[in-house]
Copies of this chain bind each other. A is one copy, B any other.
Amino acid sequence: MHLDRKNIEALEQRYRAALINSITGFKSLALIGTENSKKQSNLAIFSSLVHLGAHPPLLGFIVRPDSVERHTLSNIEENGFYTINHIHESFYKSAHQTSARYPKEQSEFDACGIRKIYRDNFLAPFVENSPLQIGLEVRKIMPIELNQTILVIGEIQHLYFDETAIAEDGFVDLERLGSITCAGLDAYYTTKKIARLSYAKPDRPINER
């Protein structure tokens, strides 16, 4: 099947959204927790997380301007802090439900039955049952003028997960933690490890670790 730029342009809007959202591949999936200055909390599901660097430890995510994600952005602009929480299969339906258009004064934690927890005086709520929780401070909000999306970049301040998941070399076993992945706008997946591979060098064959 071959679709070119004109074929894609001619597709019905929702069909095109489903198609183009699918082809990025399996995506990093998380719930982002925020709070405004009046302690009104918000929780929203994102599949646009991207690793930006380890030193300093930076993560980015994309906000669409015309969506429910807007509440997340306005809270981050107001408060400066937010949490990224991995999603476990046990609560993926509740996590998906946070994408509904709730009014701003209603917290998705309450509306979707997801328990929040505050840790170490951090100024944004974590998802209590999340297998890996990250607390971040916003560092940069970069508008992408091409399509009015926004890249939000944060620096990791706190990291919580079960210590049995970390390997000797620092690798965190997400499968052991039960983190799931997604594709498109609404498909959720567990994973099965094929292998970890050795560091690649031009003159040496790849080995499984």
Binding site for B on A (CB under 8 A): 1-5, 8, 11, 13-30, 47-60, 62, 64, 86, 89, 92-93, 96-102, 111, 119-120, 132, 134, 139-140, 142, 144, 146-147, 149, 151, 153, 155-163, 166-167, 169-172, 174-175, 179-181, 183-202, 206, 209
Query: A155 to B20, alpha carbons, bound, how many Å?
Result: 11
Give the number of copies in the complex: 2
Which listed residue, B147, B159, B191, B198, touches A181 by the CB 8 Å rule?
B191
> Chain B nearest CB: distance from A31 CB in Å?
11
Q: Which of B149, B159, B193 contacts A3 (CB 8 A)?
A: B159
> Complex Cα distance A203/B50, Å?
32
Known pairs A16-B170, A26-B26. 5 more at Cβ < 8 A?
A5-B155, A15-B170, A22-B172, A25-B29, A53-B146
Chain B nearest CB, measured from A100 CB (Å) = 4
Q: Is the CB of A186 within 8 A of B197?
A: yes
A-B pairs with beta carbons under 8 Å apart, 20 shown: A1-B160, A3-B158, A5-B155, A5-B157, A15-B170, A16-B170, A17-B55, A23-B161, A26-B179, A26-B191, A52-B149, A60-B62, A96-B197, A102-B202, A139-B146, A142-B144, A151-B151, A171-B186, A188-B194, A188-B197
Which residue of A29, A30, A191, A196 has the most chain B CB atoms within 10 A of its CB atom?
A191
Minimum C-beta distance from A197 to chain B (A) = 5
